[in-house]
Amino acid sequence: MASRVLRIALIPGDGIGREVIPAGRRILEALPPSLGLKFEFTRLDAGYELFQAAGTSFPDRSIDVLRHECDGALFGAVSSPTRAVKGYSSPIVHIRKKLDLYANVRPVKTVATDANPIDMVIVRENTEDLYVKEERTLEDPEGGVYAEAIKRISARASSRIATMAGKIAVQRQKLRESGVASIHKSPLVTITHKSNVLSQTDGLFRSCAKEALAAQQFVDAGVAVEEQIVDSMVYKLFRQPGSYDVIVAPNLYGDILSDGAAALVGSLGLVPSANVGEGFVMGEPCHGSAPDIMGQGIANPIATLRSAALMLEFLGEEKASAKIYAAVDANLEDGKLLSPDLGGKAKTEEVVNDILKRL
């Protein structure tokens, strides 16, 4: 059987991104040959340090490489200044826009042995909302200043992200029925919005999402649909996280909910994500560049390893992704080699080596 060759870009970025992305490469290279996968890797630079050196956080040439020469990518983390810096913009936002990676998919789960298991996916619209970054500062008539930002919600983006959420709910149900998933629940999509205040923008998101999820394919698959106002969603997410299956939200709410949900499973260092478009997927751990621990060799690599698995999942290699998930879960269930963010003392290299052995 001929092997499938996947061309993967490695984009470490800043800080601990340079420590965890090599771990992602190692896990891919260690997959059993019987899976029929081979990898070709291309390294691309990105981030604030690159901007300081070259005047760009991600060159246009690198966008061309992703678009024309790669099947997927693993992105690490970037450091962003807290103040405005002329000419600087986030490379991850730039990549999402240029490649139309319209869905940010973030699974949040505990291991099967947890007493109160959590297994949900937050599906975040990735291209618009306040993240269009159209802001301005103006003078008011009384001599002061005020700032305003554009919140853009479109019918097209809202419909396609809800459709993605519905498809993920269907796929998760198939895994449960096949016995792969350890937590049993019915397929459910929760639409999150603030249409009681933002009647036009969030109102449009709500109506388009409900219409998309009323499609016959989701009705036939038994996908239930509910909705939550975002502030109520935050409360219920922390009070009853086991009740949720798939949550779909506009860009800003999805960002906040997914980072908050990471606290439910112990650390951002455990939570993966995938930026998904038509024909391209980029895995991205949810943690930041963590300059406070950079260079100490204690960064948790698990979010990156799970992001590599998630990337493979969206590239149609479910068996390979399942192998990685199982090896990571075995490490966590054993609990003997945990990184400091999880209360352990293991170095990054020790965690990676343990997971590779289990793979």
Asked whether residue 110 is domain-assigned, the answer is no
Do 288 and 232 fall within a single domain?
no
What is the per-residue pLDDT for 71? 96
Do 255 and 281 fall within a single domain?
no
- If we measure between CA atoms, which residue out of 8, 78, 80 comes closest to residue 46? 78
Single pTM value for the model: 0.90
User: Would you state the structure tokens that stand for residue 29, as one six-digit string?
Assistant: 């290279």
What is the per-residue pLDDT for 251? 96
Asked whether residue 70 is domain-assigned, the answer is yes
Burial class of residue 114 (count of CB atoms within 10 Å of its CB; 0-12, 13-18, 19+): middle
Do 155 and 262 fall within a single domain?
yes
> pLDDT tens digits for 164-178?
999 999 999 988 887
Asked whether residue 107 is domain-assigned, the answer is no
Measuring CA to CA, how many Å separate 211 from each of 18, 26, 110, 207?
43, 43, 32, 6
- Reduced to 3 DSSP states, what percent helix, strand and coil does the chain have, rounded to the nearest 5? 45, 20, 35
Q: Which of 216, 240, 267 is the last residue of a domain?
A: 267
Do 64 and 154 fall within a single domain?
no
- Per the DSSP assignment, residues forming a β-bridge with 178 are none
Do 237 and 289 fall within a single domain?
no
Do 326 and 240 fall within a single domain?
no
Do 126 and 257 fall within a single domain?
yes
CATH of the domain at 349: 3.40.718.10
Q: Domain of 154? A: 119-137+145-267
pLDDT tens-digit profile, the chain (359 residues): 678 999 999 999 999 999 999 999 999 999 999 999 999 999 999 999 999 999 999 999 999 999 999 999 999 999 888 787 888 888 998 899 899 999 999 999 887 667 778 999 999 999 999 988 899 999 988 889 999 999 999 999 999 999 999 999 999 998 888 766 556 678 999 999 999 999 999 999 999 999 999 999 999 999 999 999 999 999 999 999 999 999 999 999 999 999 889 888 888 889 999 999 998 999 999 888 999 999 999 999 999 999 999 999 999 999 999 999 999 999 999 999 999 999 999 999 999 999 999 99
Do 204 and 319 fall within a single domain?
no
Do 17 and 61 fall within a single domain?
yes
What is the per-residue pLDDT for 179? 67
Q: Which residue, chain included where needed, has tokens 């930026």?
A: 275
Do 130 and 255 fall within a single domain?
yes
Asked whether residue 111 is domain-assigned, the answer is no
Q: Which of 242, 267, 292 is the last residue of a domain?
A: 267
Which helix (H) or strand (E) covers residue 323, if one does? helix 318-334
Q: Which of 247, 267, 287 is the last residue of a domain?
A: 267
Q: How many separate domains does the chain show?
A: 2
Asked whether residue 113 is domain-assigned, the answer is no
Asked whether residue 95 is domain-assigned, the answer is yes
Asked whether residue 108 is domain-assigned, the answer is no
Asked whether residue 180 is domain-assigned, the answer is yes
Q: Count Cβ neighbours within 10 Å for each residue of 299-334 and write b for 16 or more, e otherwise.
A: bbbbbbbbbbbbbbbbbebeebbebbbebbbebbee
What is the per-residue pLDDT for 116? 79
User: Would you state the structure tokens that stand for residue 270, as one six-digit string?
Assistant: 């455990």
- Per the DSSP assignment, residues forming a β-bridge with 122 are 106, 247
Do 307 and 357 fall within a single domain?
yes
Is the separation of the CB atoms in 13 and 62 below 8 Å?
no
Do 129 and 206 fall within a single domain?
yes
